[in-house]
Chain A
Amino acid sequence: MNPATSRRNFLAAGLALPAAASATRSSGSGQTQSSSPAHSSSPALQFKVLGKTGMRVTTVGMGCMITSDATVVTRAADMGINYFDTSRNYTNGQNERMVGAALGARRKNIFLASKCDRTDGASILQELDTSLKELGTDYLDVWHLHGKSSPQQISDDMVEAQMKAKQAGKVRFIGVSCHQNLPAIVDRCIEAKMDVVQAQYSFAQDASWTPAVEKLAQAGIGVIAMKVMARAGGRGRGQQAPPKPPNYGAAALRWAIKNPNIGTTVPSMTDQDQLQENFTAMAAPFSDADSKLLVARLEEIRPYYCRTCGQCDGQCRKGLPVPQMVRFVMYADGYGQFALGRQNFQTLAQEHQDVRCSDCATCAVQCPHGVQVAQQLARAQELFA
């Protein structure tokens, strides 16, 4: 069993409600409405059209996954942000309920997106019905297949289910969200006639992802950028990176917005303060100061920020499993789990444990993104061998 697939099933499982909450259509004309009328005159708000959907979306949307309080969602809608993103699996389904309650009657003024996690057509249609009940609406503006990173994961069965939902009026537009390997799924998204793609996209991935984003846009597919802060210096991957400088978030956000092929962004917003910061960032253009800040930041995180592209694999003349060894160092240095790093190192073949990088005059392994691989390998040997 594919563990990732099973996990997505897991996250979706058991979340169907025993009693249906009342689902009311908030906007009978919403199915054909292509823009949100609210707040369109505010100078702070910047809009783009999201590909062939015709939806006129604020360039800063709202990622609701870790929002701490419903009032943040409510205020964002009142400020005029008009694109809201959640998922069936966030906090075991509680996030959709919070978002639905927070939006209330404001639902008719905004575009609402959610995602499904299971892996067959019939099951995702069940998920959709639960999403609609929890969100207190009877249609989604965008409905994504969640977290796809290979064409095979975007099965005909699921695409057909998305089309059925569209024909039934339960969703206006269909999409795919992608955390990894965006270039691999571009052709499949075009072939499957997706309306939108939501992809991890930040200044740190410019070279890797920008051509894919451009290709999607050329096909009329609206592109939504997520994880625009490059996941460095915060949670998850990149925890060993230096702390983020002031104004970093706004600069990273504006970097994504300035790409004409990006329709909107969905940065996670925890609190009112972050909402205000992101809202303010929307109005200002990407500046030289932003550029300098991000260039400096990229240099800071370059030695740490593994983009999981896999291009270093197989490059070592001694046959070292480079990606794994870099990861073991991260366990020790990044997370303070020396024992875990060493334990993993000791699972390597003895011939690999015995390799010393100092025996090579030069290192054949080159990270295309600038991660200091040779130093990381030597560090692994220093720590664990």
Chain B
Amino acid sequence: MRAKLAFLAGAACVLAAPLAGAATPACNLVPGWAQSGETRYYTADNLFEYMDGNSEGYFSYNFQNMHGVTCKKNGVTFVIDISDMGDSDDAFGWFSDTRDMRQPQAAIGMGGQIVERRLIFAKGKYYVEIAAEPEGDHSADLKIWAAALEKIVDGTTTPPAALAWFPTEKQQSLKLAPESVLGLRLLQRGYVAQYDYGKAFVVFEDTAASAADVMQKLRDRFGAATPVKLGDEAFQTTDQYLGKLCFVRKDHYIAGYSITAEGMDPVALSAALIAKVQ
């Protein structure tokens, strides 16, 4: 049975040939590197065979497929994978969820990061990643690979416009929440930025009418909501876990702040945020 399963896994990997036109990594992109083993190809059907439960994260961001190859040079191994996330929003979204904001960011594609043993970047609809073995600082080689891979990956290098809406000072994280923004199913998808004084969010609804409907459901959910004169409609309230918070609707956007620190006014913060939302 084990042999059969191993065969199945191997067959799935080898037989699922890459689609023409897809971004596919190859070891000869950088001189001196040699391929180790077969190339890899995974879809949503079998990604979990490659990365176990971590595949759920990829699925959250609209994962389509992954092309990969392992390259070696002088005892160093780079495991290189390029994932098609369907569109640039999801590619950046997955990048935003997996980057470490405590580490320096790199100017690659829409956004990137290189640390001693890891490279990640998003460009167009692609999420690109390399992991290096063994222990040690491989950042010089990773930078060379970043440049080579960026050339073979098509797509925009302009980050989502929504990023510019959030204050950059004291920003601890900024990511696309693919579902349930603030842990609320009502808020389906949007950007969330964490600061030491609170958490900012901008949620995207398809239409102003659907956004208004969500606002009403939020009022119902939180009960004691105090109306605020902001945007098209707004209210502030408090919650045991989301703290002092304010929701503002502007056309089909719902924005605001939650978990605001003592002495901070969620309404004033939200006013500044919504003023930038376009």
Contact = CB atoms under 8 A, between A and B. Distances in A.
Interface of A: 1, 3-4, 6-16, 18, 63, 65-69, 71-72, 74-75, 87, 89-95, 117, 126, 146-147, 149-150, 177, 179-181, 184, 226, 235-237, 239, 268, 270-274, 308-311, 313, 321, 323-324, 327, 330-331, 334-335, 337, 339-340, 343-344, 347
Nearest 6 Cβ contacts at the A-B interface = A14-B118, A14-B117, A69-B183, A13-B131, A271-B180, A10-B131
Interface stretch (B8-16, B23-31, B246-254): B8-16
B242 A71 contact: yes
Contact of B9 (A4, A93, A311): A4
A72 B185 CA distance: 11
A340 B81 CA distance: 19
Contacts of B59: 235-236
B185 A92 contact: no
A67 B181 CA distance: 10
A14 B4 contact: no
A239 B117 contact: no
B1 interface: yes
Given A9-B133, A335-B43, A344-B15, A74 B241 contact: yes
28 contacts: A1-B70, A3-B40, A4-B50, A9-B131, A14-B116, A68-B177, A68-B178, A72-B183, A75-B241, A91-B54, A91-B57, A92-B98, A94-B97, A94-B98, A146-B53, A179-B49, A235-B59, A236-B55, A237-B44, A237-B46, A237-B48, A273-B184, A273-B185, A313-B7, A323-B11, A324-B15, A339-B19, A347-B15
B120 interface: yes
Given A181-B5, A313-B7, A343-B17, A235 B79 contact: no
B2 A181 contact: yes
A272 B185 contact: yes
A63 B117 CA distance: 28
B129 interface: yes
Given A3-B50, A126-B135, 4 more contacts: A3-B68, A8-B51, A71-B182, A180-B5
Given A11-B131, A68-B179, A339-B19, A271 B184 contact: yes
Given A69-B183, A271-B185, A324 B12 contact: yes
B199 to A, nearest CB: 9
A16 B134 CA distance: 13
B79 A149 contact: no
B11 A184 contact: no
Given A1-B70, A347-B15, A268 B180 contact: no
B136 to A, nearest CB: 11
B115 A71 contact: no
Given A15-B118, A68-B180, A68-B183, A236 B44 contact: yes
A91 B179 contact: no
Contacts of A272: 180, 183-185
A13 B51 contact: no
A334 B70 contact: no
Contacts of A91: 54, 57, 97-98
Contacts of A239: 44-45
Given A14-B118, A181-B5, A237-B48, A327 B55 contact: no
B52 A146 contact: yes
Contacts of A147: 52-53
A13 B60 contact: no
A126 B116 CA distance: 15
Nearest to A21: B102
B37 A71 contact: no
Contacts, number: 213
B132 interface: yes
Contact of B53 (A68, A90, A323): A90
A69 B52 contact: no
Given A9-B133, A14-B131, A179-B48, A92 B100 contact: yes
Interface residues of B, number: 71
Contacts of A63: 53
B38 interface: yes
B56 interface: yes
Contacts of B9: 4
Interface in B45-90: 45-57, 59-60, 65, 68, 70, 77, 79, 81
B133 A330 contact: no
Nearest to B97: A91
Contact of A69 (B5, B16, B53, B182): B182
Contacts of A334: 45
Instruction: Name the residue among A66, A150, A334, A347 with the largest chain B CB count within 10 angstroms.
Output: A66
Given A69-B181, A149-B5, A271-B180, A92 B120 contact: yes
A68 B77 CA distance: 33
B54 A87 contact: yes
Contacts of A327: 12, 16, 45-46
B36 interface: yes
B5 to A, nearest CB: 5
Contacts of B178: 68
Contacts of B17: 343-344, 347
B177 A69 contact: yes
A117 B241 CA distance: 33
A324 B13 CA distance: 10
A66 B57 contact: yes
Nearest to B16: A344
A237 B50 CA distance: 13
B100 A324 contact: no
A156 to B, nearest CB: 19
B132 A13 contact: yes
Nearest to A184: B2
Contacts of B132: 13-14
Contact of A321 (B2, B11, B13, B242): B11
B208 to A, nearest CB: 24
A14 B99 CA distance: 12
